[in-house]
Chain A
Protein backbone atom coordinates (compact mmCIF):
# COMPACT_ATOMS: atom_id res chain seq x y z
CA UNK A 1 0.00 0.00 0.00
CA UNK A 2 1.49 3.36 -0.94
CA UNK A 3 1.83 6.21 1.52
CA UNK A 4 -0.86 8.38 0.00
CA UNK A 5 -3.42 5.61 0.13
CA UNK A 6 -2.53 4.74 3.69
CA UNK A 7 -2.76 8.39 4.68
CA UNK A 8 -6.28 8.67 3.25
CA UNK A 9 -7.37 5.51 5.02
CA UNK A 10 -6.03 6.74 8.32
CA UNK A 11 -7.75 10.06 7.84
CA UNK A 12 -11.05 8.29 7.10
CA UNK A 13 -10.66 6.15 10.19
CA UNK A 14 -9.78 9.09 12.45
CA UNK A 15 -12.57 11.25 11.06
CA UNK A 16 -15.04 8.53 11.94
CA UNK A 17 -13.57 8.45 15.41
CA UNK A 18 -13.90 12.25 15.71
CA UNK A 19 -17.54 12.06 14.63
CA UNK A 20 -18.10 9.76 17.59
CA UNK A 21 -16.60 12.07 20.19
CA UNK A 22 -17.50 15.52 18.89
CA UNK A 23 -20.93 16.86 18.09
CA UNK A 24 -21.48 18.11 14.55
CA UNK A 25 -24.02 20.72 15.44
CA UNK A 26 -24.57 22.79 18.56
CA UNK A 27 -27.56 24.58 20.00
CA UNK A 28 -27.65 28.29 19.33
CA UNK A 29 -30.25 31.02 19.61
CA UNK A 30 -31.46 31.02 16.02
CA UNK A 31 -34.14 33.65 16.66
CA UNK A 32 -31.48 36.19 17.53
CA UNK A 33 -29.59 35.42 14.33
CA UNK A 34 -32.73 35.65 12.24
CA UNK A 35 -33.50 39.08 13.68
CA UNK A 36 -30.02 40.25 12.78
CA UNK A 37 -30.46 38.81 9.30
CA UNK A 38 -33.76 40.69 8.91
CA UNK A 39 -32.03 43.95 9.72
CA UNK A 40 -29.23 43.11 7.29
CA UNK A 41 -31.78 42.35 4.58
CA UNK A 42 -33.42 45.71 5.04
CA UNK A 43 -30.08 47.46 5.03
CA UNK A 44 -29.12 45.64 1.89
CA UNK A 45 -32.40 46.50 0.26
CA UNK A 46 -31.88 50.15 1.04
CA UNK A 47 -28.30 49.95 -0.16
CA UNK A 48 -29.34 48.35 -3.41
CA UNK A 49 -31.99 50.95 -4.04
CA UNK A 50 -30.25 54.08 -2.92
CA UNK A 51 -26.58 53.47 -3.50
CA UNK A 52 -24.10 53.39 -5.11
CA UNK A 53 -25.96 53.99 -8.34
CA UNK A 54 -28.41 56.42 -6.91
CA UNK A 55 -27.63 60.13 -6.98
CA UNK A 56 -25.24 60.97 -4.18
CA UNK A 57 -27.37 63.79 -2.88
CA UNK A 58 -30.42 61.61 -2.76
CA UNK A 59 -28.75 58.75 -0.94
CA UNK A 60 -27.04 61.11 1.48
CA UNK A 61 -30.28 62.83 2.31
CA UNK A 62 -32.13 59.55 2.65
CA UNK A 63 -29.44 58.12 4.92
CA UNK A 64 -29.66 61.14 7.09
CA UNK A 65 -33.42 60.79 7.35
CA UNK A 66 -33.14 57.12 8.24
CA UNK A 67 -30.46 57.76 10.81
CA UNK A 68 -32.35 60.57 12.44
CA UNK A 69 -35.63 58.70 12.45
CA UNK A 70 -34.15 55.62 14.03
CA UNK A 71 -31.91 57.48 16.42
CA UNK A 72 -34.51 59.78 17.85
CA UNK A 73 -37.54 57.69 18.65
CA UNK A 74 -36.09 54.90 20.79
CA UNK A 75 -33.76 57.27 22.60
CA UNK A 76 -36.70 59.32 23.70
CA UNK A 77 -38.31 56.20 25.05
CA UNK A 78 -41.44 56.86 23.12
CA UNK A 79 -43.66 53.91 22.50
CA UNK A 80 -46.86 53.17 20.67
CA UNK A 81 -48.44 55.76 18.44
CA UNK A 82 -46.29 58.60 19.63
CA UNK A 83 -43.17 56.70 18.73
CA UNK A 84 -44.47 55.72 15.33
CA UNK A 85 -45.56 59.27 14.62
CA UNK A 86 -42.18 60.53 15.63
CA UNK A 87 -40.43 58.10 13.35
CA UNK A 88 -42.73 58.82 10.48
CA UNK A 89 -42.38 62.54 10.91
CA UNK A 90 -38.67 62.13 10.33
CA UNK A 91 -39.10 59.71 7.50
CA UNK A 92 -41.73 61.89 5.86
CA UNK A 93 -39.54 64.95 5.98
CA UNK A 94 -36.60 62.87 4.82
CA UNK A 95 -38.47 61.50 1.85
CA UNK A 96 -39.80 64.90 0.91
CA UNK A 97 -36.31 66.31 1.01
CA UNK A 98 -34.98 63.31 -0.88
CA UNK A 99 -37.57 63.85 -3.59
CA UNK A 100 -36.50 67.46 -3.90
CA UNK A 101 -32.87 66.42 -4.15
CA UNK A 102 -33.79 63.82 -6.75
CA UNK A 103 -35.37 66.50 -8.90
CA UNK A 104 -32.28 68.65 -8.57
CA UNK A 105 -29.67 66.03 -9.28
CA UNK A 106 -31.60 63.85 -11.66
CA UNK A 107 -30.29 65.46 -14.84
CA UNK A 108 -26.60 65.39 -14.03
CA UNK A 109 -26.85 61.91 -12.60
CA UNK A 110 -28.42 60.55 -15.77
CA UNK A 111 -25.43 61.94 -17.65
CA UNK A 112 -23.07 60.21 -15.25
CA UNK A 113 -21.88 63.44 -13.72
CA UNK A 114 -22.69 62.52 -10.15
CA UNK A 115 -21.12 59.56 -8.48
CA UNK A 116 -20.08 59.56 -4.87
CA UNK A 117 -19.08 55.95 -4.41
CA UNK A 118 -17.46 56.11 -0.99
CA UNK A 119 -20.18 58.20 0.46
CA UNK A 120 -22.92 56.18 -1.12
CA UNK A 121 -21.53 52.86 -0.03
CA UNK A 122 -21.50 53.87 3.61
CA UNK A 123 -23.22 51.14 5.54
CA UNK A 124 -26.45 51.77 7.28
CA UNK A 125 -25.11 49.69 10.14
CA UNK A 126 -23.63 52.75 11.81
CA UNK A 127 -27.07 54.21 12.17
CA UNK A 128 -28.35 51.13 13.92
CA UNK A 129 -25.47 50.20 16.16
CA UNK A 130 -27.00 51.60 19.27
CA UNK A 131 -30.12 49.48 18.83
CA UNK A 132 -28.53 46.10 19.26
CA UNK A 133 -30.96 45.21 21.97
CA UNK A 134 -33.99 46.36 20.06
CA UNK A 135 -33.65 44.15 17.04
CA UNK A 136 -37.30 43.29 16.82
CA UNK A 137 -38.50 46.87 17.05
CA UNK A 138 -35.84 47.93 14.61
CA UNK A 139 -36.87 45.21 12.22
CA UNK A 140 -40.46 46.44 12.29
CA UNK A 141 -39.43 50.00 11.69
CA UNK A 142 -37.22 48.94 8.85
CA UNK A 143 -40.07 47.01 7.30
CA UNK A 144 -42.21 50.12 7.37
CA UNK A 145 -39.33 52.07 6.01
CA UNK A 146 -38.81 49.56 3.25
CA UNK A 147 -42.44 49.90 2.21
CA UNK A 148 -42.15 53.68 2.25
CA UNK A 149 -39.02 53.64 0.15
CA UNK A 150 -40.65 51.23 -2.23
CA UNK A 151 -43.49 53.67 -2.81
CA UNK A 152 -41.00 56.48 -3.12
CA UNK A 153 -38.98 54.41 -5.55
CA UNK A 154 -42.04 53.75 -7.66
CA UNK A 155 -42.87 57.42 -7.72
CA UNK A 156 -39.40 58.43 -8.76
CA UNK A 157 -39.19 55.65 -11.34
CA UNK A 158 -42.42 56.84 -12.85
CA UNK A 159 -41.02 60.33 -13.05
CA UNK A 160 -37.77 59.14 -14.62
CA UNK A 161 -39.72 57.68 -17.50
CA UNK A 162 -41.09 61.05 -18.48
CA UNK A 163 -39.61 63.28 -21.07
CA UNK A 164 -38.91 66.22 -18.86
CA UNK A 165 -38.69 67.15 -15.21
CA UNK A 166 -39.51 70.75 -15.89
CA UNK A 167 -42.24 72.20 -13.81
CA UNK A 168 -45.51 72.42 -15.74
CA UNK A 169 -46.25 75.91 -16.87
CA UNK A 170 -48.95 77.52 -14.85
CA UNK A 171 -50.54 79.78 -17.40
CA UNK A 172 -52.65 81.48 -14.82
CA UNK A 173 -49.57 82.84 -13.13
CA UNK A 174 -47.90 84.27 -16.24
CA UNK A 175 -46.66 87.72 -15.48
CA UNK A 176 -48.57 90.47 -17.08
CA UNK A 177 -46.93 93.20 -19.03
CA UNK A 178 -46.75 95.39 -16.01
CA UNK A 179 -45.13 92.57 -14.03
CA UNK A 180 -48.04 92.03 -11.64
Chain B
Protein backbone atom coordinates (compact mmCIF):
# COMPACT_ATOMS: atom_id res chain seq x y z
CA UNK B 1 0.00 0.00 0.00
CA UNK B 2 2.81 2.37 0.80
CA UNK B 3 4.17 1.64 -2.65
CA UNK B 4 0.82 2.41 -4.21
CA UNK B 5 0.66 5.74 -2.55
CA UNK B 6 4.17 6.67 -3.62
CA UNK B 7 3.05 6.36 -7.23
CA UNK B 8 1.39 9.72 -6.96
CA UNK B 9 3.22 11.24 -4.05
CA UNK B 10 5.41 13.31 -6.35
CA UNK B 11 2.79 15.95 -6.98
CA UNK B 12 -0.61 15.08 -5.66
CA UNK B 13 -2.06 18.57 -6.05
CA UNK B 14 -1.08 18.53 -9.70
CA UNK B 15 -2.81 15.18 -10.24
CA UNK B 16 -6.00 16.55 -8.69
CA UNK B 17 -5.81 19.70 -10.78
CA UNK B 18 -5.50 17.61 -13.94
CA UNK B 19 -8.30 15.33 -12.82
CA UNK B 20 -10.57 18.32 -12.42
CA UNK B 21 -9.89 19.07 -16.07
CA UNK B 22 -10.95 15.49 -16.87
CA UNK B 23 -7.45 14.41 -17.79
CA UNK B 24 -7.66 10.65 -18.31
CA UNK B 25 -4.07 10.00 -17.31
CA UNK B 26 -4.60 11.74 -14.01
CA UNK B 27 -7.47 9.38 -13.29
CA UNK B 28 -5.25 6.45 -14.27
CA UNK B 29 -2.86 7.55 -11.55
CA UNK B 30 -5.67 7.77 -9.04
CA UNK B 31 -6.90 4.31 -9.99
CA UNK B 32 -3.39 2.88 -9.71
CA UNK B 33 -2.97 4.44 -6.30
CA UNK B 34 -6.26 3.47 -4.69
CA UNK B 35 -8.01 0.63 -6.52
CA UNK B 36 -6.31 -2.09 -4.50
CA UNK B 37 -7.10 -0.52 -1.16
CA UNK B 38 -10.69 0.19 -2.12
CA UNK B 39 -11.09 -3.36 -3.33
CA UNK B 40 -9.72 -4.69 -0.06
CA UNK B 41 -12.13 -2.47 1.87
CA UNK B 42 -15.20 -3.55 -0.10
CA UNK B 43 -14.22 -7.19 -0.12
CA UNK B 44 -13.71 -7.27 3.63
CA UNK B 45 -16.89 -5.30 4.24
CA UNK B 46 -19.14 -7.41 2.02
CA UNK B 47 -17.25 -10.65 1.58
CA UNK B 48 -18.13 -10.84 -2.10
CA UNK B 49 -15.39 -10.30 -4.64
CA UNK B 50 -17.52 -9.57 -7.67
CA UNK B 51 -19.62 -7.06 -5.83
CA UNK B 52 -16.46 -5.49 -4.43
CA UNK B 53 -15.07 -5.03 -7.96
CA UNK B 54 -18.27 -3.38 -9.11
CA UNK B 55 -18.21 -1.02 -6.16
CA UNK B 56 -14.60 -0.03 -6.78
CA UNK B 57 -15.58 0.87 -10.33
CA UNK B 58 -18.56 2.82 -9.03
CA UNK B 59 -16.35 4.82 -6.65
CA UNK B 60 -14.15 5.99 -9.49
CA UNK B 61 -17.09 6.82 -11.72
CA UNK B 62 -18.48 8.94 -8.89
CA UNK B 63 -15.10 10.57 -8.45
CA UNK B 64 -15.13 11.60 -12.11
CA UNK B 65 -18.55 13.14 -11.67
CA UNK B 66 -17.92 14.89 -8.39
CA UNK B 67 -14.24 15.86 -8.61
CA UNK B 68 -15.19 19.52 -9.27
CA UNK B 69 -16.73 19.58 -5.79
CA UNK B 70 -13.60 18.32 -4.11
CA UNK B 71 -11.85 21.03 -2.11
CA UNK B 72 -8.25 20.49 -1.35
CA UNK B 73 -8.43 21.43 2.30
CA UNK B 74 -9.34 17.83 3.15
CA UNK B 75 -7.26 14.79 2.39
CA UNK B 76 -8.15 13.26 -0.94
CA UNK B 77 -8.16 9.71 0.35
CA UNK B 78 -10.53 10.66 3.17
CA UNK B 79 -12.89 12.08 0.55
CA UNK B 80 -12.45 8.98 -1.60
CA UNK B 81 -13.15 6.56 1.23
CA UNK B 82 -16.12 8.61 2.32
CA UNK B 83 -17.62 7.89 -1.10
CA UNK B 84 -16.73 4.23 -0.60
CA UNK B 85 -18.30 4.20 2.85
CA UNK B 86 -21.53 5.71 1.58
CA UNK B 87 -21.69 3.13 -1.18
CA UNK B 88 -21.17 0.22 1.15
CA UNK B 89 -23.76 1.55 3.57
CA UNK B 90 -26.27 1.83 0.75
CA UNK B 91 -25.49 -1.74 -0.21
CA UNK B 92 -25.94 -2.99 3.35
CA UNK B 93 -29.24 -1.15 3.66
CA UNK B 94 -30.77 -2.96 0.72
CA UNK B 95 -33.45 -5.42 1.74
CA UNK B 96 -31.59 -8.32 0.16
CA UNK B 97 -28.35 -7.48 1.87
CA UNK B 98 -27.53 -8.93 5.22
CA UNK B 99 -25.67 -7.03 7.88
CA UNK B 100 -23.05 -9.67 8.17
CA UNK B 101 -20.75 -10.50 5.30
CA UNK B 102 -20.63 -13.94 3.79
CA UNK B 103 -18.50 -15.72 6.40
CA UNK B 104 -17.30 -18.30 3.92
CA UNK B 105 -16.40 -15.80 1.24
CA UNK B 106 -12.70 -15.72 1.87
CA UNK B 107 -12.48 -19.48 2.11
CA UNK B 108 -14.36 -20.07 -1.10
CA UNK B 109 -11.93 -17.93 -3.07
CA UNK B 110 -9.18 -20.13 -4.45
CA UNK B 111 -5.62 -18.97 -3.83
CA UNK B 112 -4.14 -17.01 -6.70
CA UNK B 113 -1.56 -18.63 -8.94
CA UNK B 114 1.16 -16.54 -7.38
CA UNK B 115 0.24 -17.76 -3.94
CA UNK B 116 0.34 -21.38 -4.94
CA UNK B 117 3.56 -23.05 -4.03
CA UNK B 118 4.82 -20.13 -2.02
CA UNK B 119 4.75 -21.18 1.60
CA UNK B 120 4.76 -17.89 3.39
CA UNK B 121 2.21 -16.37 1.09
CA UNK B 122 -0.05 -19.33 1.50
CA UNK B 123 0.25 -19.09 5.21
CA UNK B 124 -0.65 -15.44 5.08
CA UNK B 125 -3.53 -16.25 2.80
CA UNK B 126 -4.83 -18.72 5.33
CA UNK B 127 -4.64 -16.05 7.99
CA UNK B 128 -6.60 -13.66 5.82
CA UNK B 129 -9.16 -16.32 5.03
CA UNK B 130 -9.49 -17.09 8.72
CA UNK B 131 -10.12 -13.43 9.38
CA UNK B 132 -13.08 -13.15 7.03
CA UNK B 133 -15.66 -15.08 9.09
CA UNK B 134 -14.64 -13.15 12.17
CA UNK B 135 -15.06 -9.86 10.36
CA UNK B 136 -18.50 -11.09 9.38
CA UNK B 137 -19.37 -11.55 13.03
CA UNK B 138 -18.66 -7.92 13.87
CA UNK B 139 -21.52 -5.41 13.81
CA UNK B 140 -21.29 -3.45 10.57
CA UNK B 141 -20.48 -0.16 12.35
CA UNK B 142 -17.49 -1.74 14.07
CA UNK B 143 -16.38 -3.52 10.93
CA UNK B 144 -16.63 -0.32 8.92
CA UNK B 145 -14.66 1.72 11.47
CA UNK B 146 -11.91 -0.90 11.72
CA UNK B 147 -11.62 -1.27 7.94
CA UNK B 148 -11.76 2.47 7.31
CA UNK B 149 -8.72 2.76 9.55
CA UNK B 150 -6.98 -0.21 7.97
CA UNK B 151 -7.59 0.43 4.26
CA UNK B 152 -8.46 4.12 4.15
CA UNK B 153 -6.05 5.21 6.85
CA UNK B 154 -8.67 7.66 8.01
CA UNK B 155 -8.13 9.42 11.29
CA UNK B 156 -10.65 8.89 14.06
CA UNK B 157 -11.82 12.45 13.54
CA UNK B 158 -12.38 11.84 9.82
CA UNK B 159 -14.40 8.71 10.53
CA UNK B 160 -16.40 10.59 13.18
CA UNK B 161 -17.14 13.36 10.70
CA UNK B 162 -18.37 11.17 7.90
CA UNK B 163 -20.33 8.76 10.08
CA UNK B 164 -21.79 11.66 12.09
CA UNK B 165 -20.81 9.85 15.29
CA UNK B 166 -19.04 11.34 18.29
CA UNK B 167 -15.29 10.84 18.37
CA UNK B 168 -15.53 8.76 21.53
CA UNK B 169 -18.02 6.44 19.88
CA UNK B 170 -15.70 5.89 16.93
CA UNK B 171 -12.79 5.15 19.24
CA UNK B 172 -14.91 2.64 21.15
CA UNK B 173 -16.06 0.94 17.94
CA UNK B 174 -12.51 0.51 16.70
CA UNK B 175 -11.28 -0.59 20.11
CA UNK B 176 -14.03 -3.16 20.60
CA UNK B 177 -13.90 -4.41 17.03
CA UNK B 178 -10.15 -4.96 17.05
CA UNK B 179 -10.18 -6.56 20.47
CA UNK B 180 -12.84 -9.05 19.41
CA UNK B 181 -11.07 -9.87 16.16
CA UNK B 182 -7.82 -10.51 17.93
CA UNK B 183 -9.42 -12.62 20.60
CA UNK B 184 -11.24 -14.78 18.06
CA UNK B 185 -8.22 -15.15 15.83
CA UNK B 186 -5.88 -16.06 18.65
CA UNK B 187 -8.18 -18.52 20.32
CA UNK B 188 -7.32 -22.19 19.67
CA UNK B 189 -8.90 -23.53 16.49
Give Cα distance in the complex from A34 to B25, angstroms: 9
B35's partner among A18, A30, A38, A40 (CB-CB below 8 A) is: A30
Q: Is A167 an interface residue (CB 8 A)?
A: no
A23–B124 Cα distance when bound, in Å, is: 9
Q: B31 touching A18 by the CB < 8 A rule?
A: no
Which residues from B are CB-within-8-Å of A2? Answer: none
CB neighbours (8 Å) of B118 from chain A are none
20 A-B pairs with C-beta separation under 8 A: A10-B178, A11-B171, A21-B131, A23-B40, A23-B124, A24-B151, A25-B37, A27-B36, A27-B112, A28-B35, A28-B36, A33-B35, A34-B27, A36-B60, A37-B60, A37-B64, A40-B65, A41-B27, A44-B64, A48-B22
Residue from A11, A22, A23 within 8 A of B174 (CB atoms): A11
A82 at the binding interface (Cβ < 8 Å): no
For A6, give the chain B residue with the smallest CB separation: B175
Asked whether A29 lies within 8 Å of B53 as measured between CB atoms, the reply is yes
Whether A44 lies near B1 (C-beta < 8 A) is: no
B interface SS class: helix
A25–B175 contact, CB under 8 A? no
Residues on B lying within 8 angstroms of A by beta carbon are: 1, 4, 22, 24, 27-28, 31-32, 35-37, 39-40, 43-44, 53, 56-57, 60-61, 64-65, 112, 124, 127-128, 131, 146, 149-151, 171-172, 174-175, 178-179, 181-182, 185
Taking Cβ atoms with an 8 Å cutoff, the residues of A that contact B are 7-8, 10-11, 14-15, 17-19, 21-30, 32-34, 36-38, 40-41, 44-45, 48
Most buried by B among A23, A32, A37, A44: A23
Closest residue of chain A to B181 (Cβ to Cβ) is A18
Residues of B within 8 A of A27 (CB): 36, 39, 112
Residue contact B175 to A33, C-beta cutoff 8 Å: no
17 additional A-B residue pairs with CB within 8 Å, beyond A10-B178, A21-B131: A7-B172, A11-B174, A14-B182, A17-B178, A24-B151, A25-B36, A25-B39, A28-B39, A33-B57, A36-B57, A37-B28, A37-B60, A40-B61, A40-B64, A40-B65, A41-B27, A44-B64
